[in-house]
Structure 1
Amino acid sequence: MAGRSASRCGFLYFYAVNPFIMQSSSILNLLAALALTTASVQAQNRPAKAAPSRSVVTTPTTKLPEFSLSRAEVEAHMRFLASDELEGRRTGEQGNRVAARYIAEQFRQLGLKPAGTVDNKPDYFQPISFERVKAASSGTMLIGKDTLHLGKELVVMAGGPTTLSGEVVYVGYGLTDGDDGYKGRDVKGRILVAQGGSPDAKGPREIFSAAAAKRKLASEKGATALIELYSESIPWGFVNQYFNREQLSVASLPEGSAPVTHLWVNNANNQYKQLKEAGQTVTIRTSGRPRTMTTSANVAGIIEGTDATLKDEYVILSAHFDHIGVGKQSGTPYQPGDSIFNGARDNAMGTVAILEAAKALSQQRPKRSVLVVALTGEEVGLLGSRYYADHPLVPLKQTIFDMNIDGAGYNDTTIVSVIGLERTGAKSEIETAAKAFGLGIFAEPAPEQGLFDRSDNVSFAAKGIPAPTFSPGFKSFDEAIQKYYHQAIDNPESLDFGYTLKFCQAYAYAARLIANRATRPQWSVGDKYEAAGKALYGQ
């Protein structure tokens, strides 16, 4: 089925009781059939009952449930989650909600305790309201005799339709009340100019976070517009391309309202330095960026630990289940004959691995408790994990580790690649688990890509939780990776399911070993997140 265009998948018509409960006969029939398949596979592969044992330590390693996981079950999960019917699982779209429901019902079947709440009742969902922001259709800014145009020197970041003129007020970086221009000054109704980024912003995450913080403060101060002078490390061409298409963000304003007008101006070579000068006037005209609301959810369940003391500590197993959708919404070139981005490697493979780990760990529970969480919104800015980190379902202080899964694909089926292996304190357990299934470990692949700070693990790391990313085997971003990464051909038929099974088993076993550790994993001395860890855990 993979390879059909979106127009040929128009049979998915859903009647929604709420955003996460679908009553589609085709989907429910498919779910039911797959559930029967799963139950059959479980029955065939369930280990024979052994005599009761008082200690997990006495159980032979190969009798642990992860050693009996089924290739057929792994493949069944994968073929559903990366199917054409789910239309690329884009956050805020119906295929994403179907995937969330499927994961939740797998958790229910395995007996995991719901970690979220919906309508004040325990649930596997952690609902998130998102705003879908469309690109501006027009925008200009007049500075003296110069006119800046949308898509060339100007990007519209936020705001509704606007025509306004006035003198500008320079506020430095515009991040705090103490910045020049804010300190002791009433800026209500004024057009503010701020330096782009922040003193510490180096990568995209920091730059965009600083921009959002500036917009929030400008709005709170009653400003009518905010202009940032952009001269950061991300090329202006990329900025133009990114913000001239639809984005999703976690909703921060009531539906129908609009944030303050926010523009980025390409200030390469300091060519618009006059905007910092007192008395400079500008005229802004923009169509604004239309906003609509949509929903998605993280999906989370708890496996309670067996140790009377350690069960109050948690190991998180995380993977994002969203992908980039269909056709133009993906932001990626595609062929008319195949416009569905199935996302088998990225990241249905990771989602299947946390499902299989949940199965193994629920059948024989470890000492510490385990929170299994499928995250939404990774492809649109790590939004699901950032939301979780700000609204945790178990206390962050009691969360000792997050083992995230993400990946662009694999080019070596003899290894597992771990980003952050040398930094996060569980190297021995991860290496032992991989070796048990005939796999080696490759640490810190493609260092030039800065991968540690580009996946959901960084949302946990920023709070102080040791959080590596467990990835399918690769050492560099070569042609074998680029062939499938965010491409429509990344579908289940192209996977090595023998390797996928071993990957899932190694992950589940590593999770068990970490959850059974006598001591907590620690950040490496001098790591950039070590201070956050000490602050979180009171060290």
Structure 2
Amino acid sequence: MRSSIIVPFLAGLLVVTSSIQAQNHPVQRSSSKAKTTNSAAQLPEFSLSRAEVEAHIRFLASDELQGRKVGEPGNWIAARYIAEQFRQLGLKPAGTIANKPDYLQPIDLERVKAASSATMLVGKDTLHLGKELVVMAGGPTNLSGEVVYVGYGLTDGEDGYKGRDVKGRILVAQGGSPDAKSPREIFSASAAKRKLAGEKGAAALIELYSESIPWGFVNQYFNREQLAIPTNGETAAPVAHLWVNNANNKYKQLKEAGQTITLQTSGRLRTSALSANVAGIIEGTDPKLKDEYVVLSAHFDHIGVGKASGTPYQPSDSIFNGTRDNAMGTAAILEAAKTLSLQRPKRSVLVLALTGEEAGTLGSRFYAEHPLVPLKQTIFDLNTDGAGYNDTTIVSVIGLERTGAKNEIETAAKAFGLGVFAEPAPEQGLFDRSDNVHFAAKGIPAPTFSAGFKAFDEAIGKYYHQAIDNPESLDFGYTLRYCQAYAYAARLIANRATRPQWSAGDKYEAAGKALYGQ
């Protein structure tokens, strides 16, 4: 084995050993001067060790893990490290492999190569890959013919496929959907259109894109390698699927009957890529409430090394360590797992380390469709993720005002001398950009607990998805208090007499009522 692989395992062994020793000796008490009640101060989270928090982060964000990119060895090493921490703490494995209990929840992903060529002739205009076209999916394609406009291409209704035989035809659909606003919703609608077009036997699907995500971002994102969850029912070679930049309705003629086009694309080569979430259960103590679950989630992946990261870098440092995003959050769920296993709460807790957030929240999306505990019995998800911090006097909570546990979160933060800032950088739409959104879409209240920031400023941009985001740049005193506040908030929520509820009128309230039968 290469030394760069051996070193992380040795480092991990040292951390595991230090954790065991810490449980058998008095643990260093936090330096927080916050006033707490005597009973609260006896809880394990008030005696967490800065050294242990630092060790978790230094291991997960080490150069040897090569940026923890999904499908790469460093990501698997991180997953194994987390699983062995769960085992050492005595958590119950939540997943299964070969019909045996396991901490890993395997996910069969696809690695989708970027298209190398694509052109489309529309009248006298020739559209090109990297300019007016992006290739979403499909194999090599070379065809000509009349197009069939199917509205949004999402239904068999009047504005869709009703009464039309589209087998072997080239379909044109309006981009997005009437309700799609966020990137997640736009991409989800697009995948649904491709699936339906394939089921109908279409030869190709062209979407007229004029959505809120800038075309430059779309172009850059889809002209590089991606990872994806195969769509249920999709064949080995999905229908050829392209987006056309329809800014200012430039190609509206594609909606007209009789319009003929010529399309050529190299397609996107697909190969398998295995990854996994990591999940362990702490059983609750209350005879009734232990059948309800609080999920503690954080993604452990990052964007990798060099050109494959899709981010500019300097030759002197090409490893994107992801200390703030999200080794810090992963350490928080590990420390919460420790404190809650030492003194268990009333409700059960699922500690869930997620893969693939940086590749499009793939791990949480997969989990939401393949839950390891029933969603109906999952009352809350306290996700932790973030771009970094610019204020070490606070934690920032995205969804604080919406998800029904404001009091518990504020109480926990205050216990460690921290304030709470609600809904930072609202213009960024952050609630729908992290793993929490897939829990929310199912109806589960799910805020994201982040390091302290109020806006995306220079202090955030300096480190967010930058190679400079190394452990040496972190304020570990603040990181300790962050982990303590997160763990204490998790305990208070798991011990609540009643379930947290969505705020009245929230866009996910209806999903919550449907899930819980309210």
TM-score, normalised relative to structure 1? 0.92
**From 519, 522, 525, the counterpart of 2:504:** 525
1:42 is displaced (CA, Å) by 3.1
**From 7, 10, 24, the counterpart of 1:43:** 24
Indicate how the Cα distance of structure 1 residues 181 and 354 shifts in structure 2: closer, same or farther if over 3 A, else same.
Answer: closer
1:278 is displaced (CA, Å) by 1.4
The answer to whether residue 434 in structure 2 is matched with residue 438 in structure 1 is no
1:274 is displaced (CA, Å) by 1.4
CA distance in 2, matches of 1:10, 1:341: 20
| Amino acid paired to 1:309 | K
Indicate how the Cα distance of structure 1 residues 28 and 47 shifts in structure 2: closer, same or farther if over 3 A, else same.
Answer: closer
Q: Contact conserved, 2:28 with 2:48, CA < 8 A, in 1?
A: no
Q: Contact conserved, 2:302 with 2:320, CA < 8 A, in 1?
A: yes
| Amino acid paired to 1:470 | F
Q: Contact conserved, 1:193 with 1:228, CA < 8 A, in 2?
A: yes
Aligned to 2:278: 299
Aligned to 1:461: 440
CA distance in 1, matches of 2:233, 2:309: 27
Deviations 1:269-317 (A, max 9, x none): 1111111111111111111111111111110000000000000000000
**Where does the alignment leave 5 or more consecutive residues of structure 2 unmatched?**
30-36
Q: How does 1:50-449 map to 2 (within 5 A)?
A: 60-252=39-231, 257-449=236-428
Deviations 1:86-116 (A, max 9, x none): 0000111110010000000000000000001
CA distance in 2, matches of 1:186, 1:156: 25
Q: Contact conserved, 2:15 with 2:52, CA < 8 A, in 1?
A: no
1:181 is displaced (CA, Å) by 5.0
Deviations 1:444-493 (A, max 9, x none): 11111111111111110111001111001111111111110000011111
1:255 is displaced (CA, Å) by 11
CA distance in 2, matches of 1:28, 1:355: 17
Deviations 1:346-387 (A, max 9, x none): 000000000000000000000000000001110111111111
Indicate how the Cα distance of structure 1 residues 279 and 254 shifts in structure 2: closer, same or farther if over 3 A, else same.
Answer: closer
SS in 2 for 1:296: strand
| Amino acid paired to 1:38 | S
1:26 is displaced (CA, Å) by 4.0
The answer to whether residue 473 in structure 2 is matched with residue 494 in structure 1 is yes
Indicate how the Cα distance of structure 1 residues 146 and 287 shifts in structure 2: closer, same or farther if over 3 A, else same.
Answer: same
The answer to whether residue 11 in structure 2 is matched with residue 30 in structure 1 is yes
SS in 2 for 1:234: coil
1:167 is displaced (CA, Å) by 1.1
CA distance in 1, matches of 2:403, 2:235: 44
SS in 2 for 1:166: strand
CA distance in 2, matches of 1:47, 1:437: 15
SS in 2 for 1:45: coil
Deviations 1:393-435 (A, max 9, x none): 1011101100000000011111111111111111111111111
CA distance in 1, matches of 2:481, 2:41: 14
Deviations 1:485-522 (A, max 9, x none): 00001111111111111111111111111000000001
CA distance in 2, matches of 1:392, 1:460: 10
CA distance in 1, matches of 2:191, 2:199: 12
| Amino acid paired to 1:416 | V
SS in 2 for 1:232: coil
SS in 2 for 1:431: helix
CA distance in 2, matches of 1:480, 1:47: 31
Q: Contact conserved, 1:168 with 1:282, CA < 8 A, in 2?
A: yes
CA distance in 1, matches of 2:28, 2:473: 31
Q: Contact conserved, 1:171 with 1:179, CA < 8 A, in 2?
A: no
Indicate how the Cα distance of structure 1 residues 181 and 445 shifts in structure 2: closer, same or farther if over 3 A, else same.
Answer: closer
CA distance in 2, matches of 1:335, 1:112: 41
Aligned to 2:431: 452
| Amino acid paired to 1:41 | A
SS in 2 for 1:60: helix
Aligned to 1:21: none
1:31 is displaced (CA, Å) by 2.6
Identity of aligned residues (%): 81
| Amino acid paired to 1:521 | P
1:43 is displaced (CA, Å) by 2.6
CA distance in 2, matches of 1:402, 1:305: 16
CA distance in 2, matches of 1:369, 1:486: 34
SS in 2 for 1:435: helix
Aligned to 2:464: 485
CA distance in 2, matches of 1:446, 1:512: 28
Q: Contact conserved, 2:278 with 2:354, CA < 8 A, in 1?
A: yes
Aligned to 1:55: none
Indicate how the Cα distance of structure 1 residues 480 and 27 shifts in structure 2: closer, same or farther if over 3 A, else same.
Answer: closer
1:60 is displaced (CA, Å) by 1.3
Q: Contact conserved, 2:154 with 2:160, CA < 8 A, in 1?
A: no
1:25 is displaced (CA, Å) by 4.5
Q: Contact conserved, 1:376 with 1:384, CA < 8 A, in 2?
A: yes
Q: Contact conserved, 2:210 with 2:247, CA < 8 A, in 1?
A: yes
Range with greater deviation from structure 2 (89-98 or 38-47): 38-47
| Amino acid paired to 1:340 | I
CA distance in 2, matches of 1:103, 1:97: 10
TM-score, normalised relative to structure 2? 0.96
CA distance in 2, matches of 1:376, 1:115: 16
| Amino acid paired to 2:517 | G
Indicate how the Cα distance of structure 1 residues 427 and 256 shifts in structure 2: closer, same or farther if over 3 A, else same.
Answer: closer
